A and B are shown apart, each in its own frame.
Chain A
Amino acid sequence: MKTKLACKNVYLLNFSRNSTDRVTDKVPVKEKKLMDVKLGELPSWILMRDFTPKGIAGAFQRGYYRYYNKYVNVKRGGVAGISMVLAAYVLFNYCRCYKELKHERLRKYH
């Protein structure tokens, strides 16, 4: 009985639709995750992020491990994990040389 009440309270605190009931309203803006930040607080949240080299390196590391643990470091991973990386690499290189490539479109008169 007590655990049922506790579960209901946890649900209300985190997932309720009223902004007065959620737990993320009581957390300071600096420590919120992006999805919990309100639209009005977004500029101040962006300015409070850590832009030192260590912070940026930490951001890249977190992004890398997020992708790696979701798609590659699983029990039965497939080609999707690495082929998404290669597709993004191709897209990046295409954007890099778009300036020279746009002259090579199939046209009657160049």
Chain B
Amino acid sequence: MNENLFTSFITPTMVGIPIVLLIIMFPSILFPSPSRLIDNRLVSIQQWLVRLTSKQMLSTHSHKGQTWALMLMSLILFIGSTNLLGLLPHSFTPTTQLSMNLGMAIPLWAGTVATGFRYKTKASLAHFLPQGTPFPLIPMLVIIETISLFIQPVALAVRLTANITAGHLLIHLIGGATLTLTSISTITAFITFTVLVLLTILEFAVALIQAYVFTLLVSLYLHDNT
């Protein structure tokens, strides 16, 4: 049981060849690029969704922040599609790997901080000290704000990893429990099955919400710094 629980999270290899790159690139073929004014239904639905999300997400940004539109939209599409594909049976979810989430979070956060330091140096340094703090508390508060700044990328990555991994683990555990309970007591198995159904609905929501939260926080850091 111990070994089986985590085998779905190891990087996939097939006859010794790591195919994890293929699995990461798989969601891209589900988003065909539009070639005409009015395309087929799949592309039209995706275009409508992208327009809706981008309008809502980028409305609060200034002109400089809106140059990040492509980055933020591709980020939310990638994380959303990867999380949703991970809910299919037996599939591998790249966002359960901390390495990948750190690889997404650190460059994006560093980009927002670097943009802030480059274009509005005084204002971004002023973020380290909230307004109206009493004079003796200033050194300690600067240290605390620095720590909270450096913890932002780690928090982004760990939040995504932990949420998706925990969801997958719960589904594995409760599904296994349902299977073994069918031979012991049918009513308990039915209750556990209902829990499994509710959990799966939650996981669909979590997959999308986590993508949204990740992107929203990156855009928030961007807003602070532009």
A contact face: mostly helix, strand, loop, or mixed: helix
| Known contacts A72-B32, A97-B7, A100-B7: A90-B42 contact under CB 8 Å | no
B7 to A: closest C-beta gap in Å = 5
Is the Cβ of B7 less than 8 Å from the Cβ of A90?
no
Is the Cβ of B91 less than 8 Å from the Cβ of A89?
yes
Q: How large is the interface on B (under 10, 10 to 19, 20 to 34, 35 or more residues)?
A: 20 to 34
- The listed residue (B8, B29, B40, B90) touching A64 by CB distance below 8 A is B29
A100 to B: closest C-beta gap in Å = 5
Is the Cβ of A90 less than 8 Å from the Cβ of B29?
no
Verify if B151 is at the interface (C-beta below 8 Å from A).
no
Is the Cβ of B85 less than 8 Å from the Cβ of A89?
yes
A40 to B187, CA, bound (A): 63
| Known contacts A68-B32, A82-B30, A90-B90: A73-B4 contact under CB 8 Å | no
A91 to B: closest C-beta gap in Å = 9
A74 to B39, CA, bound (A): 9
B41: A residues at CB distance < 8 A: 76-77
Is the Cβ of B88 less than 8 Å from the Cβ of A86?
yes
A89 to B27, CA, bound (A): 11
B30: A residues at CB distance < 8 A: 82, 85
Task: Report how many residues on chain A are interfacial, defined by Cβ distance under 8 Å.
Answer: 23
Verify if B26 is at the interface (C-beta below 8 Å from A).
yes
- The listed residue (A81, A93, A103) touching B90 by CB distance below 8 A is A93
1/0 per residue, CB under 8 A from A, across B115-152: the answer is: 00000000000000000000000000000000000000
| Known contacts A85-B30, A89-B85, A100-B4: A94-B42 contact under CB 8 Å | no
B10 to A: closest C-beta gap in Å = 10
Can you report 8 A-B residue pairs in the complex whose CB atoms are below 8 A from each other? A64-B29, A81-B42, A89-B88, A90-B88, A90-B89, A93-B89, A94-B89, A97-B90
B-side interface residues toward A, CB under 8 Å? 4, 7-8, 12, 14, 19, 26, 29-30, 32, 39-42, 85, 88-92, 179
